[in-house]
Structures are given as structure tokens and as C-alpha cells.
Structure 1
Amino acid sequence: MLRKLHSLSALLAALFILTLAVTGAVLSIEPAMERAGAQVPAAGQLSVAELAGRIGRHYADVEQIERRPSGAIVVYYRQSDQSGADLVSPLTGLAIAPYQPSAFFRWVRQLHRSLLLDSPGRALAGITALVMLILSLSGTLMLARQQGGWRRLLSPVAGNGSKRLHARLSRAALPGLLLSALTGLYMSALTFGLIAEGTPAEPEWPTITANGQPAPAASLAALQTLDLTELKELVYPYPNEPTDVYSLHTTSGAGYINPYSGELLSYQRDDSRQGVQAFLTMLHTGEGLWWLGLLLGLGALVVPVLTVTGIQVWWQRRRARPKLANNCGAHVADTVILVGSEANSTWGFANTLHDALTAAGHRVHTAPMNQLASGYRRARQLLILTATYGDGDAPASGNRFLARLARINPRPDTRFAVLGFGDRQFPQFCRFANTVETALLAGGWSSLMPLETIDRQSTQTFSRWGQRLGQALGCELKLEHTPRRAPTTRLQLAERVDYGADTEAPTSVLRFKVPTGANHGWRRLIGQSGLPPFEAGDLVGIYPPGSAVPRLYSLASASADGQLEICVRKHEGGVCSGFLHALQPGGDIEAFIQPHPAFRPLAGQAPVVLIGAGTGIGPLAGFIRHNRQKRPVHLYWGGRDPKSDFLYQPELQHYLADRRLTQLNTAFSRVGERCYVQDRIMADGSQLRTLIERGAQILVCGGRDMANSVMVTLNQVMAPLGMDVQTLKAQGRYREDVY
């Protein structure tokens, strides 16, 4: 529902939003331009009387002095029966330039306020501001859900391509867009009388008696005590009108001044609503806060980009909708597949399962989880494939499933199985799938198979689950899921460093670059390497020749390094590892980037503890390489033999020397003490407890067995603190990249 509200609002109001955003960005420049051409004394530096005296030396017939919101001083005067206006220097009273409001900015302002349609246009502008507010709030709620809760709203954004760019830009522009939308709504409500306007100060008009010649403005006592920063305008008495007075408007009110005595005759302060109105107008226009105007303008300039990326995300999601063949009606199917998906990726697996069951002779009905029927007449199997969204929440197509389930009585001859999809990096891995299984069992449904989970859309795990499902159903079931091939970049091996031949664990550090011929001139001109954007800890997907299934490797470099670096061990029978180990400099690969923002050090200066074994050192070395602020970083790493497979040894020694690495702790299992990385962790328990108390974040990379052993050891280390790994995960301070 939230996504539909967000998308529909954006599509319906796109043209008006773009118009207001672009015109708002243009108008944001005006206060800064005015400020740039002005001389602005500091508070307390100059009184209004001193300013009037300096202006009086150069202008004989002054009619009005105005202090613009930018601080610029404008004098209006008459000369030879002609009216004029100059921008003047408050320090000298001399003209800086003639003052002429821009006709262009006046036209843009009318377009921004009323779309050049007068009252109907003002109403449309107000409605558009309301839509912008809805988009900002709904987008924030969606991003918070996607990030796994409000506490992680500012953590690195997951996803890739348009989706990631849309989320990152939205988050950056959100404060400005919210401020513009709220203040724009307020001003629109004032225009149509929905909110009572403030009452400007209207002091009583005084009656004075002429008493000789009026005193010079510079000698008026009321102006001598008034700081220039408090002035809005000073209107001089009309010539040859002995009973006329000075009209004074300040930032707090208005009054009149006797031109003979300099006495403040009457003064009235603005009411509180007038002050609020002036403040909110300043926040919306940036007049008086030119730097805020520029920030709001930058936020507005993001809107056209958000429009493009938003349409791309919407189209990609629409194009990814499932296209199921031979989808039986719910009332005749013997097997029902229900799918919970947020971005449609789970539907691909469901489609594969649907086709395999159909080929095995089953009549299959596949639908979103939210379409759970009150009863399936002939169904004997209910198979639920569901992802988990954010902090353990239901995905978009399953957010009404539990409520519907609670109203249904199960058939005694219908059995169920739940398959969860997720990413083990997140603390609530497959939590919604667990919730669904618990609810089904509590509701009296019979289990066909216990809950199983799939990490990062593993096709191998899916295939093994399919074999077990086939055995439970009494048929042969082969689930050969081929994900849609991602767009790739051709990369060329530039350098390789080989290790491990003596330990029967050949491992290589491979560094790739974009081939010279593919490095376009414009990229070379602006200093780019031609690599797609990525950070250390992200993943690169590589398609080995003849395979439609990519293999993922953790990145040890960032695109800013000018190369893509991975650390790969050769596995017996490994298709991709064998291909990469046989690759020589000059050879090519086809690769794509899969962002992995959940696995990287958090911002700040808190200590970082890096733990890995074998090729898991790759992204950890990348994190150390980019520790330019030299925050405390402690590395625990395990290998086999320091003479053969001490990966990154020269680099790590260099990082120790320049303090990007604080401490290096190694463990080798084939020589000397024959210890493992968890042994080093246990030995350093006291130091690690101190680091954890100081807010340390722990990042673990390597094999699943190693990661499990490390988790057990760390739980023992942290026991005296009353903490465990799960506590750190909940705080976002424990992240894994394991395989």
C-alpha cells in the first residue's frame, strides 16, 4: 500500500513537481547573487543614523532607505524630477550599481507560485506541495523499512543501479524537500485563508507641529540607537510637508519619528503570528539566509534525477513481474505456491518451482501470499516461498498474509512447507519465514517439511531443497534455476600474485582493469578508470565461460583505486575458480557489481576488529587500505604456512608502518603452534573486551565453519560484559561475509 501511494502520487504529479522543483532551484540563486553584490556590516558595527548620514552626503533628495533580506542596502531618490534606485555601500554611502529587480526572476517567481494561472495555479501549487510532502514521508518510511529500521536509516544503502541511486539521493535531499514542502503548504494555506495571517504593526498616525527646519537624519536620536541589522525600511518625510514624519519599519515592528526632535512618536510591535509568518517565509525562500536558499536549491535540483530514477525503478519492477505459464485456477490445483516478494526476485524461484511441479504432473496454482484463499478445494500441498523485508518485516506481496491466515481453518489433508530467502548479513535473517511457519503450526496446519532458508539467492541450496521436496512428494524434482543474466562489464587481468602452491591450496590475488580500448575519452578526461562504482566489501559477479550462473567474490579494492581486486582460492572441480587461476595477464572476464553496503566499517572513529581466514582477507585488506583517517584497526587472520600463503604480507607490513593497521594477529595451522584464528581471539580476550566497551565494530570474512567457531569464541570472550554476538548484531556492530 505504501509503495502504491508513493508511486501513484509521483506519477500523477510529476510535471507539477518538476516545475516547482526547477523554478525553486532557479529562485534559490537570487538571494545568493544579491548577497554576493552587497556589503554587509556586522551587527553592532553601524547605526541607521550613521548610514543615513553617509547616504545624505551623496544623495540630496532621498525618499527611502531599504535593507533587503540579504543585507543589501537600496536607496530610492529623486534627481531632476526623475526617480532612481541604487544599491549602495553602507560603509561609504556611495552607489555600487543601479538597483533594478530582475524581470526574469519575477517571471520565474510567478511560475513557481501560481504556474502563471493566478488563483487556480496557486491552488495547484499548494496541492503539489502536499504531494511532495506525501512523497517525502512515504519514501522515508519505505527507506527505513528497507534499511531494517529507523536506527539504520543512515547506514549504507543496499541495492544497485537506479534503486540504490534513488534511495541515496532521496535520503540526501530529504531534509530540504521536507522543509520546502511544509513551508510551501503553510504559505498556500495563508493565501487561501486556511490559516489566519499575522497582523502587521499599524501604529497610530501622529500629529506634530512644525518647529523650524527638520533635523538631518543622521542626528535623529531614534535612529542613533537603532542598529542597521534591525532595519527593514526608512521612509523619509514628503518634501514641503512640514507635518509629515519618518516612517520606520524594523524586524520587530513599525513606528514614526518626529523629523524635528528625533523622538520616536509611536511604535507598535508585530504580533507573534506575523513573526512566525516572516520566519517560515524566510525558510521557504532563503531570503535572509542565502546559504539555506542554496541548500534548498540543491535539494530541488535532485528532484529531476529522482523522477528519472523513480520511473526506472518502477519500470524495472513492472517488467520483473512474473509471467507464469499453465497457472491453474485455485479451485482445481492440487498444489498451491504462495510468494512473498519485495522486489520480485523471489518470483523467479517460484516460477522455476511452478514449471518443475507442472512437468512432474501436478496441477499448480501460483499467486502472491496476500491472495491466500479461504479454502482450496483440491490442494494437498501449500508451498510458501517468502523473502523478509527490512527488520524482519513481511515483504510487499505478503504483508496481509498473517491477517488472512488467522481467519482460515486448515484442511486436515493439506500439508505445508516454507522456504525463506534472505541475507545472513542481517540480524533478522529470514525472520518473516520463521514467523509464517510458526503461525501455520499454531493454526493447526500439518507440516510437509521443516522450514529451510536460502542465503543470497543460492541456486545450489534451492536445487537441494527441491530434491528433498520431490522425495516428500514422491516424485523426482529437479530445480535448475537460472537467474536473469546481469549486464556485465568486460575487464582485463592486469596483474596476479600467486600463493599457496606448497600447501596444496593455490590462491591468487587478481587485479583487473578496463581494457584500454574501452576506456572512453570522456572518462579519461575527468580522471575515471572506466570501472563501475564499487567499494571494498562489495561483491563482483563473474560469469565463467559457458555458464549462465555467476560466482560472487568479495572485493578487496574500491573503484577509486583504479582496479578491481579479488582474492581467489582454486577449488578442485571449481568451474569459476579454475577459470580464474588459469587466466593470464591480458585475459578477459565478464563481470558485474553487486553492492554489499551491509559489510563495511561504520563511519566514525570507533575501533574496528577485522577477523578472517584464507581468502577472507581480501575485503579486510581493502578496508585497511582505505583507513586514511587512521582509526584503530585490529586484524586477526588465519592461514596455513607463513612461507607459502601469507596473503598480502608486504601490504600489511606497510599498513602497520603507516598506522593504517594498529595490530596484526596471525594464526597458522600447519606450522609452529598450529593454531587457528579463534585461538588468537581467545588469547586476546581482555583486549577485545576493552575494544568492545569502546564501541568497536567486528567484521568477519571467510568460510562458514571459521565464522561459527569465531562466534562461539567471541560469546565466551564477551560473557563477562553481559553481551554476546547477537547483541552486537542488533546494534549493527557485528557483520559477516561468509561462504
Structure 2
Amino acid sequence: MSPSSPTATRGIAPWIGNALVMLLLAACAWLLAGLHEGDWWQATPSTARSGAAIAAVLAYAGLVAGFLRRGRARDRSAKPAAVAARGAVWVVHASQTGFAMELADMTAAALRRGGVSVQRAGLEHLDALRLQDIERAVFVVSTTGEGDPPDPALGFVRQVMSQTLALGSLHYAVLALGDREYTQFCAFGHQLDDWLRRQGATSLFDLVEVDNADDSALRHWQHHIGQLGDGGEVPDWSAPRYQAWRLRERVELNPGSLGGPAFHLSLEPDTDALPAWTAGDIAEIGPRHAAGDVEDFLRRIDLAGDTQVLWQDETQPLATVLARSHWPDAASMPLRMHAQALADACTPLPHREYSIASIPADGALHLLVRLMQRPDGSPGLGSGWLCTHAQPGDTIALRVRRNPNFHPPAADIPMILIGNGTGLAGLRAHLKARMQSGARRNWLLFGERQRDHDFFHADEVLAWQAQGLLERLDLTFSRDGGEHRYVQHALRAQADRVRQWMDEGAALYVCGSLAGMAPDVDAALRDILGDDRVEALRGSGRYRRDVY
């Protein structure tokens, strides 16, 4: 630490100040002494009075020494505290009205619940040195006026964002709050995201825009935040308003695959009216526990599942409540628990998000879902419900959420679609929309494990290619050997063609896994096109991602 650093200055300044005060008091005593003639006292003070005076002086000196020791201890503890927080996720807010601060507090609470160490701070309290020392950070920032940063963030913008920093070790995410009625929607969030990328920082996931506290966008943010923790289930901040759908069909697409089983699901609403959605939109699913698990739990606590209880302002059977919620720990429950008390202790299961793999013209909503497993081997919450527990004809709680950041380009714009695994779902919807609009300049790059097992919807994709609706198709299967193992390798092999398509105004869409594929594809694009051009494509909306 340099002698001019703030911490070093805080350690020296108290001693200098105290010394100056003591010198001033001594000077005053000397001046006052000169005003006296003869003896100061008419009589010599008693021994008791002298002892009391000496004790008072010693007590005062001890008190001052104690305060000084506490100050030095506080200064010594400052550096270890900063080091301890280095491995934490920093939750940083920039708020104009207080809403961003409130969301930052909720974000921090969700991370802590997931077992993550958290450090909270206002953006105005970060300087360049501290920022360069942070490994993971999530920023919750609002935009005010016509695209301006909040007032408290102005110092950070002027003093820190005006610099070029080395932030290669920082992994970050941005929640941008705004209002679409303003031309510069979420402008400061985008400005911060762009600056962080240019300093070498890596995004944990793509920026999330929130229009006027839109609850679906906030649930999307919470979904991503949940992935940073230990995988524990965190209740939604706001419950989705689900509609009732039916599981019409479920087909396993890759029997015998080395990877987890993947299923094509077809769903239709309980009502006759199929809602409208756009390619790129998301299905929010309300998962449920398996019926057998609910029955076992009810047996252990000796309660009847058909007992009516009040939950979320609705009277319903206790078994239904348990199917849709987190249960209290049975070991901590009393021997005899009333059904309503149990319902009161239940919290709703969090939603799960899936890319929609169809367009309304298909007459049904299609999903492509891989069955995931928890560390103990049990099926994941959302995929377990959709791929295992729910049966054709069962009711599925579903809500279609708009995802404008992944909506399609105009039909006359060439389109490059890149993805892996179940990421084909979002790309399939886009290709169907392109076929419907007559757009033929489409290029799909897709990767999975084994062609014989994991080329999802192969007949459909190959038919599009044969009909000239898919101008180019590049496939790579990591377990089959060959020159290109992963989709990013196939992309690099076509560098000249990528540059040609982008020169012709193409849009680039990526869908699939955030871990591995998405950052590797991004790195390949930056090698092929250069950082400045990739950032320009992001800014103009010609480079979009739906990654998870």
C-alpha cells in the first residue's frame, strides 16, 4: 500500500491531529500562567485532592489510548475484509428512485439463499482499483431522463468509465431498468454493459431489460441469478399468471444417446384459442412434484390429500398445494400438524423457462427439453415434471412470455443460426417463421454428440435443405470424431463465408448452452470479425443470443 493511499492516510492523520491539539493546549497553559502573580493556591492541595486529580488525568489518558487502539484495529481489519469479499458476488446498484436498490437487495437475498457470499455496494462507491479486484458482479441500474445515468452514478461514469481498464478477470451481468415510452430505453444499462465488454469483462449471461417493472423480465433475471448459486429452489419474486394447457404428445428424440434423453413435447391450451407468439418467445412452466412423492409425504405426516385449504387466495385440495410448492422439512414439523398450517408453511415452486420450438401456425406449442438430473440422481424440477411425471392429457401450467431481444429480423435479411443441443428449439421456431415468410437465405450451424442419435428433427431440417429453404447446413457431432468437434470449430472453418454473409447484412442468432458453447462461439466471432465489429453488431441488433 502506498503512503498516499486513503487507508494509510487514515492511520497517520489522528496522530498528527492529536499532537497539534496537545501543543496548542500547552501554549495556552503557558500564556495563562503568565497572568498569575505569587502563589496559585492559598493552601497546598490535600493528598486526597492531588490523588483524585492524578487519577482523573490517568483515566482520560487511558480513554484516549483506547479510542486510538480501536481506530488502528479498524484500519488493520479493512484490508482483510476486502480480501475476504474478493470471492463474493458483488451486487451493485445505481438507482434514481430507489427501485434499483430494492431489486439489488432482492438479488442479494436470492444469492445468499443459494449459498453465495455477497457484497453489496452502490455504483458510486466503486473506483477503478476496487473494480479491477472483483471477480463476479451483478449490476442493477436504472436509466433516467433521456438515456442518462442515475444521479448517484454520475461520478462513476466520469471518473471510472472514462478510463481504459484491465477487467479480464471480471464476470458480470446487468439488469437494466427503463421505460419503453422513452427513446433511449435502458440506455445506461446498455452503456455500462458495452463499456464492461470493451474492458475485457465476460458476461455471465446477456443483459436483461425491464420495462416499467415488468414481472416476467424480473422472473427471467431471477432465473439466471438462481443458476449462480447451489441450484437450490428459490421462490419467484412474483408468481407468473399461468394458463391451463394440456400435454398432447411427448416423444423421446434420442434413445440410446450418450447424453441425457431429450424429448419433443406438444402442448395445446385448454381453451380453443391458441395465443399468439413470435419466434424467439419463451414458455414459462409451473412445475409440479410427482403424484407419488406427494402421496408418500401425506402418508408420513398422516394427512388427507383431499382436505380443502386456503392457499394463494384460493380454496383447493391439500394434495394440489403440495404438488405446486416447496414443503417444510418433515423432521421439523410437529407430530400433529393441521392441514391449513401445513399449507401456510408451503411456498410456490419457481417457474422454469424453455425456448418455444414452434410458431402458432403449427397449431400447438412445441418444446425440446432434456431430462436433467440433480447431484443425487433425481430428475430436475422442471424437466422431471415435463419429461417424466406429467402424462399425456395432464394439465400443464404455462405462460407465454415475450422475448423481444430474440425476435426475428426482417424476411429480406440473411440469417445465420448457431446452436447446440436443445438450443435447436429456439432456432427451429425461427426457421419455421422464415419458411412461412418465404425467406430463403438461411444458414444453420448445429452441434451435438452423435449424429445417429442426437440430430434432433433431422428429417425436417434435411427436407428444408433439399427444398432450398435452408441455403447452408453445417453439422458437427463431438462423439463421432471428424475434423470439427464443436459448433464453434465449424464456424471458424467458415470464417470467409461468415464475413461474406455479414458484409451482405446478415443477422446472427445464437441459442443453446451458456457454459461452453455461447462464449466459445462469441470468441470465434470476435476472431473472425474483430471486437469492434461484433460490438457494433450487438448494438444494432444483428447479433442476438438466447442462452441458458
Cα distance per residue 1:578-621 (max 9 Å; x no partner): 11111332122101111112213311412110000001111211
User: In 1, Cα distance between the equivalents of 2:485 and 2:110?
Assistant: 50
Taking the aligned partners of 1:600 and 1:561, their CA distance within structure 2 comes to: 18
Tell me if 1:717 matches 2:516.
Answer: no
Please give the secondary structure, in 2, of the residue aligned with 1:491.
Answer: strand
**Map of 1:626 onto structure 2:** 433
Residue 690 (structure 1) aligned to one of 493, 500, 525: 500
1:556 matches 2:357:
yes
Task: Return the alpha-carbon distance in structure 1 between the equivalents of residues 461 and 440 of structure 2.
Answer: 16
Deviation at 1:513, TM superposition (A): 0.6
Deviation at 1:688, TM superposition (A): 1.7
* TM superposition score normalised by structure 1: 0.40
Q: Deviations over 1:403-449 (max 9, x none)?
A: 58899xxxxxxxxxx984249xx998945667999xxxxxxxxxxxx
**How many angstroms does 1:630 deviate by?**
2.8
What SS does structure 2 have at the residue aligned with 1:501?
A: coil
Aligned residue for 1:626, secondary structure, equals helix
**Does the 8 Å CA contact 1:422/1:453 hold for their aligned counterparts?**
no
Specify the SS of the correspondent of 1:532.
coil
Residue 222 (structure 2) pairs with residue 459 (structure 1):
yes
- Cα displacement (A) at 1:388: 4.7
Question: 2-side partners of 1:565 and 1:391: how far apart?
Answer: 41
* Secondary structure of 1:350 counterpart: helix
Tell me the equivalent position of 1:488.
242
* Pairing of 1:526-541 with structure 2 (within 5 A): 530-541=273-284
Q: Is the 8 A contact 1:388 1:433 kept in 2?
A: no
1:146-157 equivalences in 2 (<5 Å): none
Distance 2:442 2:251 in 1: 25
Distance 1:668 1:406 in 2: 46
For residues 488 and 676 of structure 1, do their structure 2 counterparts lie closer, same or farther at Cα, with a shift above 3 Å needed?
A: same
Structure 1 residue 402 and structure 2 residue 142: aligned?
no
When residues 342 and 566 of structure 1 are mapped into structure 2, their CA distance, relative to the original with a 3 A threshold, is farther
* Residues 1:354 and 1:581: Cα distance change in structure 2 (over 3 Å): closer
Q: Say if 1:392 and 1:638 are closer, same or farther in 2 by CA, change over 3 A.
A: farther
Change (3 A) 1:436 1:634: closer
Taking the TM superposition and a 5 Å limit, the aligned residue runs for 1:3-14 are: none
Three-state SS of the structure 2 residue aligned to 1:670 is: helix
Query: What is the rounded CA distance, in whole Å, between the counterparts of 2:260 and 2:240 in structure 1?
Result: 31
Q: Distance in 1 between matches of 2:195 and 2:489?
A: 39
Alignment of 1:611 with 2:412, yes or no, is no
Where does 1:235-314 land on structure 2 (aligned, <5 Å)?
none
Identity %: 26
Rounded Cα–Cα distance in structure 2 between residues aligned with 1:429 and 1:509: 40
CA shift in 2, pair 1:422/1:737, >3 Å: farther
- Provide the residue aligned with 1:230 in structure 2: none
Asked if structure 2 preserves the Cα contact closer than 8 Å seen for 1:339 and 1:347, the reply is no
Q: 8 Å contact 1:612–1:637 — kept in the other structure?
A: yes
- Quick one: structure 1 residues 348 and 646, their matched pair in 2 at CA, closer, same or farther if it must change by over 3 Å? same
What residue is the counterpart of 1:736 in the other structure? 545
Is residue 487 of structure 2 the alignment partner of residue 677 of structure 1? yes
Asked whether 1:637 is paired with 2:446, we answer: yes
Task: From the superposition, tell whether residues 653 and 392 of structure 1 become closer, same or farther in structure 2 (CA, over 3 Å).
Answer: farther
SS in 2 for 1:497: strand
- Aligned-residue offset at 1:687: 1.7
Query: Partner amino acid for 2:417?
Result: L
Aligned to 2:168: none
From the superposition, tell whether residues 393 and 568 of structure 1 become closer, same or farther in structure 2 (CA, over 3 Å).
farther
C-alpha displacement at 1:572, in angstroms? Answer: 0.9
Verify the 8 A CA contact 1:454 1:461 in the aligned structure 2: no
Given that 1:353 and 1:479 are in contact with CA atoms closer than 8 Å, whether structure 2 keeps it comes out as no
DSSP 3-state at the match of 2:537: helix
Q: Which amino acid aligns with 2:520?
A: S
One-letter code of the match for 2:251?
V
The offset of 1:341, in angstroms, is 7.6
Q: Structure 1, unaligned stretches of length 5 or more?
A: 1-335, 358-364, 371-382, 408-417, 438-450, 468-477, 520-529
The equivalent of 1:648 in structure 2 is 457
**Any idea what the Cα deviations from partners look like across 1:52-77, whole Å, max 9, x if unmatched?**
xxxxxxxxxxxxxxxxxxxxxxxxxx
- What letter is aligned with 2:391? Q
The counterpart of 2:385, out of the listed 569, 579, 597, is: 579
For 1:342 and 1:614, locate their aligned partners in 2 and report how far apart those are by CA, in whole Å: 42
Q: Specify whether residues 531 and 389 from structure 1 end up closer, same or farther in structure 2 by C-alpha distance, changes over 3 A only.
A: farther
What CA deviation, in whole Å up to 9, does each residue of 1:607-659 have, x standing for no partner?
11000000111121111112231330000000111111110111112212333
CA distance in 2, matches of 1:723, 1:356: 34
Q: Which residue of 2 aligns with 1:108?
A: none
Matches of 1:716 and 1:391 in 2, distance apart? 37
Which residue of structure 1 aligns with residue 518 of structure 2? Answer: 707
Matches within 5 A, 1:134-149: none
SS in 1 for 2:405: coil
Counterpart in 2 of 1:726? Answer: 535
Number of equivalenced pairs: 335
Q: Which amino acid aligns with 2:352?
A: R
Q: Which amino acid aligns with 1:536?
A: A
> How big is the shift at 1:369?
9.8
Whether 2:141 is the aligned partner of 1:387: answer yes
Secondary structure of the 2:264 match is strand
CA contact (8 A) 1:346 1:385 kept: no
How far apart, in 2, do the equivalents of 1:569 and 1:429 lie? 37
Residue identity matched to 1:555: I
Tell me the residue number matched to 1:588: 395
Structure 2 CA distance, aligned partners of 1:552 and 1:607? Answer: 28
- CA 1:708/1:388 → structure 2, altered by over 3 Å: closer, same or farther? farther
SS of the equivalent of 2:480 reads coil
What are the within-5 Å matches in structure 2 for residues 90-239 of structure 1?
Answer: none
Question: Out of 294, 315, 340, which is 2:95 matched to?
Answer: 340
**What are the Cα deviations for residues 21-80 of structure 1, in whole angstroms up to 9, with x where unaligned?**
xxxxxxxxxxxxxxxxxxxxxxxxxxxxxxxxxxxxxxxxxxxxxxxxxxxxxxxxxxxx
- Counterpart of 1:565, as a letter, is H
Alpha-carbon separation, structure 2, partners of 1:559 and 1:495: 17
Instruction: Decide whether aligned partners of structure 1 residues 402 and 354 sit closer, same or farther in structure 2, where only a CA change above 3 A counts.
Output: same
Relative distance call for 1:356 and 1:562 in structure 2 (3 A) is closer
Unaligned runs of 5+ in 2: 1-90, 113-119, 125-136, 159-171, 178-184, 197-202, 209-219, 289-323, 325-347, 375-379
Given the superposition, is the C-alpha separation of residues 677 and 352 from structure 1 closer, same or farther in structure 2, using an over 3 Å criterion? Answer: closer
Q: Structure 1 residues 543, 635: closer, same or farther in 2, change over 3 A?
A: same
**1:508 is aligned to 2:263:** yes
Q: Distance in 2 between matches of 1:600 and 1:556?
A: 13
The equivalences for 1:351-430 within 5 A come to 386-389=140-143, 393=147, 399-402=150-153, 420-422=174-176, 430=189
Q: Tell me the alpha carbon deviations over residues 199-231 of structure 1, each in whole angstroms, 9 at most, x when there is no partner.
A: xxxxxxxxxxxxxxxxxxxxxxxxxxxxxxxxx
Question: Structure 1 residues 689 and 590 mapped into 2: Cα distance closer, same or farther (>3 Å)?
Answer: same
Correspondence for 1:542: 285
- Contact 2:96 2:152 (8 Å CA) reproduced: no
Larger Cα Rg: Structure 1 or Structure 2? 1
Counterpart amino acid of residue 426 in structure 2:
P
1:341–1:347 contact (8 Å) kept in structure 2: no
